[in-house]
C-alpha cells in the first residue's frame, strides 16, 4: 500500500505540473494574440488623416513671415503655404487643411493630446523639445537675431548688454538662457507671443527683442523708419522643422520624406516659389553641387 500511494502521489504531482505548463502556455498565447490585435487596432496618424479627408495643423499666428493674420484677417505665411503644399500632396487639394491657433507653449499639448496632426509656426528643433515631440529634418534654416528700436542708439549686440536697456523675449527656456548669456546686465521682459514682443519694442516698453532671423528681417523691412536688425546672430544658426507626436514611424516617415522632397527633390520648384514669395530671395540650392 505504501509504494502504491507514493506512485499515485507522484503521478498526481506530474499531472498538476503538466496542467500548470499547459495553462501557462495558453495564457501566454492569449496575451500575444491580444497584444497583436491591440497593435493592429492602433492606426497610424497618416491613416487617420487620409480617412478624415483633411490635415489639422497647430501653429502660432503671430510670427511673420512664418504664420500671421494679414490685413484681411486671413492666416498667411511661409509655414501656412508649406502646410497647404502637404495637403495638396495628401488630397490633391491645398484647401483641405485646418489650422489650430495656439500660444508658443500651447504647441506641445496640442500635439500630445492628438488635437492636431502636426505643427509648424517658426518652430526651432531643440534637443529638449525632441523629448516631447518628434521633428522632421529641417524645412528651413534659421537663427536668432536682435531687432532694436532705432531710437535706442544700439548698434551692436555688445551695446545691448547694459542695465539701461530692456530686452523682450518669448516665455521659453531657450530665450531665457540666451538673454542671460548675451545680455546679463540688461533688463528682461517675457511675452507669450512674438506680436507682443514687437509691440513692446514699438511702444518703448523694451529697446530690443530676440526672434528668429526671418521674423526680425520681416519686421525691419516693414518698419524701416523705426527698427533695424543688429549684425550677427545670437549663437549658431538653427533649424526649423515640422513636429508631430512621437512613436508613429509611418506618419513621421511620410512627413520627413515630404520635407526632403521640398528641400532637395521633386518638390523643390514649389518650395522655391513659396520661399521667394515670403523671403524675397531664392532658397539654398537644391543640391550644393547644383549651385550656380
229/86 same-domain check: no
In this structure, is residue 70 part of a structural domain? yes
In this structure, is residue 231 part of a structural domain? yes
Q: pTM for the complete prediction?
A: 0.76
127/271 same-domain check: yes
Question: How many CB atoms neighbour CB 254 within 10 A?
Answer: 20
232/250 same-domain check: no
Question: What pLDDT digit, counting tens, does each position of 94-111 carry?
Answer: 999 999 999 888 999 999
In this structure, is residue 103 part of a structural domain? yes
137/265 same-domain check: yes
137/256 same-domain check: yes
182/223 same-domain check: yes
120/258 same-domain check: yes
137/50 same-domain check: yes
In this structure, is residue 32 part of a structural domain? no
Instruction: Determine what percent of the chain is predicted with pLDDT higher than 70.
Output: 85
In this structure, is residue 99 part of a structural domain? yes
Lowest mean per-residue pLDDT among 18-27, 83-92, 199-208: 18-27
Q: What is the CATH number of the domain that holds 96?
A: 3.40.190.10
In this structure, is residue 35 part of a structural domain? no
102/113 same-domain check: yes
135/261 same-domain check: yes
In this structure, is residue 218 part of a structural domain? yes
pLDDT of residue 38: 46
Lowest mean per-residue pLDDT among 3-17, 83-97, 156-170, 192-206: 3-17
103/231 same-domain check: no
Position 119 confidence tier, pLDDT thresholds 50, 70, 90: very high
In this structure, is residue 214 part of a structural domain? yes
179/260 same-domain check: no
Number of domains in the chain: 2
Instruction: Determine what percent of the chain is predicted with pLDDT higher than 90.
Output: 76
pLDDT of residue 122: 85
The crossing angle, in degrees rounded to 10, of helices 268-279 and 213-222 is: 40
Q: Which domain holds residue 166?
A: 144-236
Question: What pLDDT digit, counting tens, does each position of 178-220 carry?
Answer: 999 999 999 999 998 899 999 999 999 999 999 999 999 999 9
Amino acid at each position: 500500500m505504501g509504494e502504491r500511494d507514493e506512485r499515485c502521489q507522484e503521478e498526481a504531482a506530474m499531472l498538476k505540473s503538466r496542467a500548470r505548463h499547459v495553462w501557462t502556455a495558453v495564457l501566454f498565447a492569449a496575451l500575444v494574440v491580444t497584444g497583436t490585435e491591440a497593435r493592429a487596432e492602433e492606426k497610424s496618424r497618416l491613416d487617420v488623416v487620409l480617412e478624415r479627408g483633411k490635415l489639422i495643423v497647430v501653429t502660432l499666428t503671430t510670427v511673420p513671415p512664418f504664420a500671421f493674420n494679414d490685413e484681411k484677417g486671413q492666416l498667411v505665411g511661409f509655414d501656412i503655404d508649406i502646410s497647404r503644399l502637404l495637403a495638396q500632396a495628401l488630397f490633391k487639394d491645398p484647401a483641405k487643411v485646418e489650422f489650430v491657433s495656439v500660444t508658443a507653449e500651447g504647441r506641445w499639448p496640442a500635439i500630445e493630446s492628438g488635437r492636431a496632426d502636426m505643427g509648424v509656426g517658426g518652430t526651432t528643433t531643440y534637443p529638449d523639445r525632441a523629448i516631447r515631440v518628434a521633428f522632421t529634418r529641417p524645412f528651413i534654416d534659421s537663427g536668432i537675431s536682435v531687432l532694436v528700436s532705432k531710437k535706442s542708439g544700439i548698434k551692436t549686440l555688445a551695446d545691448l548688454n547694459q542695465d539701461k536697456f530692456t530686452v523682450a523675449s518669448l516665455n521659453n527656456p531657450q530665450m531665457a538662457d540666451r538673454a542671460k548669456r548675451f545680455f546679463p546686465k540688461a533688463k528682461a521682459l517675457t511675452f507669450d507671443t512674438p506680436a507682443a514682443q514687437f509691440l513692446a519694442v514699438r511702444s518703448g516698453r523694451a529697446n530690443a527683442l530676440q526672434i528668429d532671423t526671418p521674423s526680425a528681417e520681416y519686421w525691419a523691412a516693414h518698419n524701416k523708419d523705426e527698427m533695424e536688425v543688429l549684425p550677427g546672430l545670437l549663437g549658431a544658426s538653427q533649424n526649423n522643422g515640422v513636429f508631430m507626436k512621437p512613436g508613429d514611424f509611418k506618419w513621421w516617415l511620410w512627413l520627413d520624406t515630404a520635407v526632403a522632397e521640398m528641400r532637395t527633390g521633386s518638390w523643390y520648384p514649389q518650395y522655391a516659389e513659396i520661399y521667394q514669395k515670403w523671403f524675397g530671395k531664392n532658397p539654398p540650392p537644391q543640391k550644393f553641387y547644383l549651385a550656380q
